[in-house]
Amino acid sequence: MLNATLAELSAALAAKRTSSLELTRACLERIERLDGTLNAFITVDEARALEDARRADARRAQGDAGRLTGIPLAHKDILCTRGLPTTCGSKMLAKFVSPYDAHVIERFDAAGAVLLGKCNMDEFAMGSSSETSHFGPVRNPWDARLVPGGSSGGSATAVAARMAPAATGTDTGGSIRQPAALTGVCGLKPTYGLVSRYGLVAFASSLDQAGPIGKSAEDLALMLEVMAGFDPRDSTSVDRPQQRYSQELDLDLKSLRIGLPKEYFGEGIEPGVRRAVEEAVRWFAAQGASTVELELPNARLGVPVYYVIAPAEASSNLSRFDGVRYGHRAAEFADLIDMYCRTRAEGFGTEVKQRILVGTYVLSHGYYDAYYLQAQKVRRLIARDFDLAFKKCDLILGPTAPSTAFAIGAKTEDPVQMYLNDIFTIPAPLAGLPALSIPCGFDERGLPVGLQLTGAHFSEARLLGAAHRYQQASDWHLRVPKETPL
Amino acid sequence: MAWEVVVGIETHAQLATKSKMFSGASTAFGAAPNTQAAAVDIALPGVLPVANRAAIELAIRFGLAVKGAINRRSIFARKNYFYPDLPKGYQISQYESPIVRGGEIRFTLNDAERVVRLTRAHLEEDAGKSLHEDFHGMTGIDLNRAGTPLLEIVSEPELRGAKEAVAYARALHALVMWIGICDGNMQEGSFRCDANVSVKKTDEKGLGTRCEIKNLNSFRFMEQAIEFEAKRQVELLEDGGQVEQETRLYDPERGETRSMRTKEDAQDYRYFPDPDLLPLVVPEQLLSEILQGLPELPDVRRERFVREYALTVYDAGLLTASRAAADYFEALVKAAGVEPKLCANWQTGELSAVLNREEQDIATCPVSPQMLAGILRRISDGTISGKAAKQVFEVMWKLGGSADEIIERDGLRQVSDAGAIEKLVDEVLAANARLAADYRSGKEKAFNALVGQVMKASRGKANPVQAAEALRRKLG
Amino acid sequence: MSLSHDQIRRIARLARIAIAPGEADALAARLNRVLALVEELRAVDTAGIEPMAHALEVVQRLRPDEATEPDRHELYQSVAPAVQDGLYLVPKVIE
Ligand SMILES: [Mg+2]
Ligand SMILES: [Zn+2]
């Protein structure tokens, strides 16, 4: 049961072959067994989860169940949940209990899903390894010495280790797709504006999007159907008709034009990653899809652009953590300014402080034009590359990350080494595009490799369709990590 | 060479909306602390701003009223700084692209027309309030005001001296209330001015170094503060010193300005476009709707009053001090059908004196223009004397009723009956032989005393013109 | 270009983050690594390119002017470090 997809679980619940209570108990037991090692969760509220499950079963008994009613889910601890801690993996919010629910949480609540717990993450979503959490690093279920990627490493690990059938994550520069790739699960970053950011604690507002992490493309589609939709409380939420993604998965591969940017197949990619991705390209070609060689000449500038824009926005977004209205406040201080300075020095970890300082610098007097404004201009160049590319192809294919999972501690000393992990995931959010990662094989060490598909704005159905067709013909996505057998 | 004082005024006018700029919290004044601070206003993690339509429409209305250019695409930026009354650590404010650019304010000073150009007017949100009463040595923060929509109106630095600066501020104050974008309540902080003051020698081309004076919460303080500050700067420069650009606070108790911020904390606001808010685009349709809804503006109306009713610029200025006053005047003229000058005299004289005394506003005046018109008609046709008219007015204010009812009930009708007046004159002459003799011997003053006696004998009711005529005739 | 300790202190002050003396060197090294990474942008020719602040070409939606938010200050202040009489307390603000 723990290895079943959402679609299968939904069918089992509908056929009364299982109950939400049984399913939720199974998940809680597995969390109990595995999470001491993996550290994927910050908060697990068993009583609440079981209560949710009972309510879902009652709702189903009344004939009022949707497809996700009774399905236990794990949420990244950056989404506000009323009455539960929402920590963002930070000491700053370690004791913060949100007085309200994020839009995404409200939606899953309305759908009757069960809230299993809140997932560990890089502090304030700043990281690519889930090592910067105040609550300790998350471990990769394929090899506990390795990182699961980040920042949604807890969510990806929860799904990969079968502790939760599916989870939510958030993606600013790759934080859903990269950990999905490194843990062998699927993750989708939706088009900017498709999922409301209301209640998502902001890291970089012009880039942040919440999205689903699951075992299959179909599961992502089922999750996205609930998450996506207009929300008047978010000015950047786009008002467009609701789509039934799970009903649109039958993509005709014969008419599909797949773009292969040469920049995504160049230097610096591990051979095992390259091999698996090229194998997938051959499979699509064999199904009749055409492939188009492309150039995204400015994509290589994505990392520097991102490391100006995201810290700039973060430096401002994280100013509200000042010890006045909620969160950590220093115990001792000389005066008001000292209270601010100590509160923030104590409450934030190294990576967060570093990014706030970079962001403060690039916005400061005399440097704004050279860094921030210039980064915004190059951001447009990157977006234009994609516009041109999507005149020639329907989706862009490449590796999600240049390497498979790396050792805990391997990249913590040099921030730039860490940042380069996101080289392929950063361009999509800069351009606001949807992109997903699905497993496409394993490297010689037996570690999962992620395949990334990027589409034009609001082309989620096509991306999910292509991934679904691939998964109908492969079982990479159903492999269970050897360290966490069922 | 004389010194010249140059002033630019920055005004924060609170826009008259029901809810805040970016949240659905109420903007009503005087609520218990933090009861009108929504999640967005206290900047809970994860909350987002959504712009208030009314605030934008009111800002556009102002822009059109001052003949400024409405920026068809304006941008909300973040102004970053730490302060406990600023919950997000930044203020949302328009920076590079304000909603209104340019424009002008027209006003009269010493009967002369002045035009002062505006630099810009931009939308922003207010901060909360710090309460410094003692909370065990702490400061209390009330965020009810945080997020209240403001229009910051910036004048060019071209006001010459304190008097002109105050005249500008008064005209602007009248205008924002006239067009209904702000309630103008200065005690509640709905209309707040900062003055940028510098001095220069008359023949100098450029401007001197300026100081910004904050906390000018009345026009009287504004005048005092600018005068003090100009004098301070002149004395500094004449002593060979230099003016330092800084923010100064006006202390009304001591009647002086003092330095407010230390240089050590040189501000760097790190403005950048707010990624949570999209470009504010004003469609043509909305622009023309707002233009159509705009009332006749005070300067236009003032000029029309001078032209149409043959009033002085001064009277016309008083009568267009507010839209309610101007509306009252025109309703009065229409209802009374008497000389507009008489209407103007009564409104700016008796009526405004009583309104002042009773601390009432013309908009809520118990004596309607139609009621007052009844009095003015009876003055005009000689039924009552001016003095009796004031009595009628007092009764009307307290008890209501029409002029004619009050005149009849209180017996205030002037005695115009020739026989009755003649009888009174005879009695007065008989009783005041001495005065009559004085008059006849050439003391003109005695005549007025005799008229006074007739009026007294009639208990004010005799028609004074008729009484004087009868007296002259009898005194031969 | 490389940040001096003085510059880092100034930025940290703007960002209201205390830097412990022992932290300064390591922090400077990390910050300068990141700035070296983004330095590459300065050489890019962006003449005539509009800065891109938002991922989508959409405009601001407006909210009707209605006071819809109830008083929730007790709930909100239940997570505050210091409150009294409905006010948030902070160290004395000196103007
Ligand atoms: Mg200002
Ligand atoms: Zn302002």
Domain ranges for chain C, please list them: 5-42
Percent of chain B residues past pLDDT 90, beyond the cut: 74
Residue B266 binned pLDDT confidence (cut-offs 50, 70, 90) = low
Please give the pLDDT value at position B461.
Answer: 80
Asked if pLDDT for residue B472 goes beyond 90, the answer is no
C59 vs B: CB within 8 A? yes
Residue A408 belongs to a domain = no
Domain termination site, one of B235, B259, B290? B290
C5 vs B: CB within 8 A? no
Residue B474 binned pLDDT confidence (cut-offs 50, 70, 90) = confident
Q: What is the pLDDT of residues B43-98, one digit of tens each?
A: 999 999 999 999 999 999 999 999 999 999 999 999 999 999 999 999 999 999 99
Please count the other Cβ atoms lying within 10 Å of the Cβ belonging to residue A388: 12
B159 and B263 co-located in one domain: yes
B16 and B139 co-located in one domain: yes
Say if CB B139 and CB C91 are below 8 A apart. Answer: yes
CB pair distance less than 8 Å for C44 and A341: no
Residue A476 binned pLDDT confidence (cut-offs 50, 70, 90) = very high
- φ, ψ of residue B305 in degrees (nearest 5): -60, -45
Which residue range(s) make up the domain with A191?
Answer: 6-254
Q: Which ligand number lies closest to the CA of residue B194?
A: 1
Please give the pLDDT value at position A130.
Answer: 98
**Lowest mean pLDDT segment, chosen from A245-254, B417-426, C48-57:** B417-426
Which residue range(s) make up the domain with B425?
Answer: 418-475
Asked if pLDDT for residue A266 goes beyond 90, the answer is no
Residue A350 belongs to a domain = no
Coil/strand/helix, residue A355: helix
Q: What is the mean pLDDT of residues B309-317?
A: 92
Residue A355 belongs to a domain = no
Of A181, A122, A179, A157, nearest in space to A483 by CA = A157
Which residues on chain B are in Cβ contact (under 8 Å) with C64? 53
B313 and B394 co-located in one domain: yes
C47 vs A: CB within 8 A? no
Please give the pLDDT value at position B386.
Answer: 84
Is A474 one of the annotated active-site residues of the chain? no
- Alpha-carbon distance of A7 to A187, in angstroms, equals 16
Q: What is the mean pLDDT of residues B145-165?
A: 97
Please give the pLDDT value at position B335.
Answer: 96
Q: What is the pLDDT of residues A326-341, one digit of tens each?
A: 999 999 999 999 999 9
Mean pLDDT score of chain C, rounded to an integer?
Answer: 94
Distance B152 CA to ligand 2 centre (A): 5
Structural domains counted in chain A: 1
- Alpha-carbon distance of B144 to B189, in angstroms, equals 13
B236 and B275 co-located in one domain: yes
B72 and B164 co-located in one domain: yes
Please count the other Cβ atoms lying within 10 Å of the Cβ belonging to residue B300: 12
Residue of B nearest to C75 (CA): B39
Is A175 one of the annotated active-site residues of the chain? yes
- Report the Cα C35 to chain-centroid distance in Å: 18
Please give the pLDDT value at position B458.
Answer: 83
Q: Which chains have at least 3 CB atom pairs separated by less than 8 Å from chain B?
A: A, C
Q: What is the mean pLDDT of residues A129-141?
A: 98
B48 and B140 co-located in one domain: yes
B430 and B402 co-located in one domain: no
pTM for this structure? 0.93
Please give the pLDDT value at position B403.
Answer: 93
The closest CB to that of C60, out of B135, B268, B278, belongs to: B278
**Lowest mean pLDDT segment, chosen from A102-111, A129-138, A453-462, B101-110:** B101-110
Of A272, A216, A225, A267, nearest in space to A467 by CA = A216
Asked if pLDDT for residue B263 goes beyond 80, the answer is no
Is A76 one of the annotated active-site residues of the chain? yes
Distance A230 CA to ligand 2 centre (A): 33
3-state helix, strand, coil in chain B (%, to 5): 40, 20, 35
Which residues on chain C are in Cβ contact (under 8 Å) with B141? 87-90
Please give the pLDDT value at position C1.
Answer: 62
Please give the pLDDT value at position C95.
Answer: 57
- Chains B, C: CB contacts under 8 A, how many? 122
Asked if pLDDT for residue B264 goes beyond 60, the answer is no
Please give the pLDDT value at position B417.
Answer: 77
Coil/strand/helix, residue B215: strand
Structural domains counted in chain B: 3
Q: Assess whether the previous peptide bond of A151 is cis (omega < 30° from 0).
A: yes
Instruction: Compute the radius of gyration of chain C from its Cα atoms.
Output: 22
CB pair distance less than 8 Å for C34 and A97: no
Say if CB B149 and CB B85 are below 8 A apart. Answer: no
Please give the pLDDT value at position B460.
Answer: 76
Q: How high is the ipTM of this complex?
A: 0.97
Asked if pLDDT for residue A313 goes beyond 90, the answer is yes
CB pair distance less than 8 Å for B141 and A324: yes
Nearest CA distance, B212 vs chain C (angstrom): 15
Asked if pLDDT for residue B1 goes beyond 80, the answer is no
Please give the pLDDT value at position B111.
Answer: 77
- Domain CATH for A70: 3.90.1300.10
Asked if pLDDT for residue B262 goes beyond 60, the answer is no
C43 vs B: CB within 8 A? no
Residue A318 belongs to a domain = no
- Crossing angle of helices B53-65 and B284-292, in 10° steps, is 60
B94 and B160 co-located in one domain: yes
Residue A388 belongs to a domain = no
Please give the pLDDT value at position B416.
Answer: 74
B38 and B82 co-located in one domain: yes
Q: Which chains have at least 3 CB atom pairs separated by less than 8 Å from chain A?
A: B, C
B118 and B220 co-located in one domain: yes
Residue B108 binned pLDDT confidence (cut-offs 50, 70, 90) = confident
